[in-house]
């Protein structure tokens, strides 16, 4: 069990975190503890279970800003992907489930569903969306990823309705019926959606197993996926909510690589740092690997990137040209 979970009361946990950020400047919680973003608020409120008074003005401001982007019919930018992303962020910010904007968004998504269960984007709307970790992902209009991307936000609000479960089953069938898994964005969003759906059907379980196995096939002996450290954030978004022992095994194998990617202030990434750090930390917590990771960085302090690299790295990349 991770150490922070031993502190039963919020006051004890708060004292533990306050000591932690002083003693361990490289701990992922240290970076996220001070970050003024939805990912920072989500970490403090959801991962640490601390509903801090200091966060309330920021939380309400972030919720208001997201809701202000909603179109009158209920969608965000008339886009399935943008609506799914905003629903995910609102859920992580603990917006109330009866908020009119959330109710409207769910109804709008329901109206975009076809009889087979998938969600269809309007022809005039591009199927290019910002992923949670900051990267832009692109899908073909009929790709599994379009429906899966929307489900990643939708399922945080609604799981039991027939129309939502129909969409989950459609994604699972597509994963199993297609000869090949087309791309990483489709795979990770499909796995994330299937895992958080909690549907205990043979089709869903088989689809999850295939996706986890596919990711394993693309992991090197050094722990990185697709021979690209930047792919780690996408893969962890998927494996980080999957309860499979095989998913945990892949993340465990990747710990030294993740330590080498981390900056010495506790965060990951050159851009969208809070979002990337939230993805990694959430995955480590879910699989109870955070203490193991921190022990590794304490034991091998040379694994990690100096803060100075942040100014030297290309703005659009998370890999330094001088990184080992």
Please tell me the predicted confidence (pLDDT) of residue 1.
45
d(CA 195, CA 251) in angstroms, rounded, equals 16
Please tell me the predicted confidence (pLDDT) of residue 231.
95
pTM of the model: 0.93
Residue-wise pLDDT tens for the chain (324 aa)? Answer: 455 555 668 888 889 899 999 999 999 999 999 999 999 999 999 999 999 999 999 999 999 999 999 999 999 999 999 999 999 999 999 999 999 999 999 999 999 999 999 999 999 999 999 999 999 999 998 899 999 999 999 999 999 999 999 999 999 999 999 999 999 999 999 999 999 999 999 999 999 999 999 999 999 999 999 999 999 999 999 999 999 999 999 999 999 999 999 999 999 998 899 999 999 999 999 999 999 999 999 998 878 877 777 777 665 545 433 332
- DSSP at 136: E
Q: What are the b/e assignments for 222-252, b being 16+ CB within 10 Å?
A: ebbbeeebbbbbbbbbbbbbbebeebbebbe
d(CA 134, CA 272) in angstroms, rounded, equals 6
Altogether, the residues listed in the chain come to a count of: 324
Please tell me the predicted confidence (pLDDT) of residue 131.
96
Please tell me the predicted confidence (pLDDT) of residue 251.
98
Q: Which CATH number fits domain 69-217: 1.50.10.20, 3.40.630.30, 3.40.50.720, 1.20.58.220?
A: 1.50.10.20
Q: Is the separation of the CB atoms in 73 and 122 below 8 Å?
A: no
Tokens 């795979």 map to which residue? 187
Please tell me the predicted confidence (pLDDT) of residue 314.
60
Token output for 5? 């979970």
CB atoms within 10 A of CB 165: 18
Please tell me the predicted confidence (pLDDT) of residue 221.
94
Please tell me the predicted confidence (pLDDT) of residue 186.
97
Please tell me the predicted confidence (pLDDT) of residue 5.
56
d(CA 18, CA 10) in angstroms, rounded, equals 12
CB atoms within 10 A of CB 174: 22
């Amino acid at each position: 069990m991770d150490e922070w979970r031993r502190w039963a009361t919020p006051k004890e946990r708060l004292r533990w975190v306050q000591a932690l950020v002083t003693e361990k400047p490289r701990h992922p919680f240290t970076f996220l503890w001070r970050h003024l973003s939805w990912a920072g608020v989500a970490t403090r409120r959801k991962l640490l279970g601390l509903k801090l008074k200091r966060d309330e003005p920021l939380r309400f401001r972030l919720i208001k800003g997201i809701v202000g982007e909603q179109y009158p019919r209920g969608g965000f930018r008339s886009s399935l992907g943008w609506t799914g992303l905003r629903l995910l962020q609102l859920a992580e910010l603990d917006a109330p489930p009866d908020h009119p904007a959330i109710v409207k968004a769910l109804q709008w998504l329901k109206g975009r569903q076809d009889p087979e269960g998938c969600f269809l984007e309007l022809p005039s709307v591009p199927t290019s969306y910002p992923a949670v970790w900051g990267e832009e992902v692109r899908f073909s209009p009929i790709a599994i990823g379009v429906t899966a991307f929307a489900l990643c936000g939708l399922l945080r609000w609604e799981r039991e309705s027939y129309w939502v479960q129909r969409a989950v089953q459609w994604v699972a069938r597509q994963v199993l019926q297609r000869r090949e898994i087309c791309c990483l964005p489709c795979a990770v969003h499909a796995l994330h959606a299937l895992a958080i759906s909690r549907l205990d059907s043979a089709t869903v379980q088989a689809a999850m197993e295939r996706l986890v196995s596919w990711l394993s096939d693309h992991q090197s002996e050094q722990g990185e996926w697709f021979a690209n450290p930047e792919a780690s954030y996408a893969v962890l978004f998927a494996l980080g909510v999957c309860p499979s022992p095989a998913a945990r095994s892949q993340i465990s194998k990747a710990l030294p690589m993740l330590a080498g990617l981390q900056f010495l202030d506790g965060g990951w990434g050159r851009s969208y740092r809070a979002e990337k750090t939230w993805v990694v930390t959430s995955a480590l917590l879910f699989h109870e690997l955070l203490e193991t990771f921190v022990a590794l960085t304490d034991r091998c302090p040379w694994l990690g990137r100096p803060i100075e690299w942040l100014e030297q790295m290309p703005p659009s990349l998370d890999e330094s040209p001088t990184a080992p």
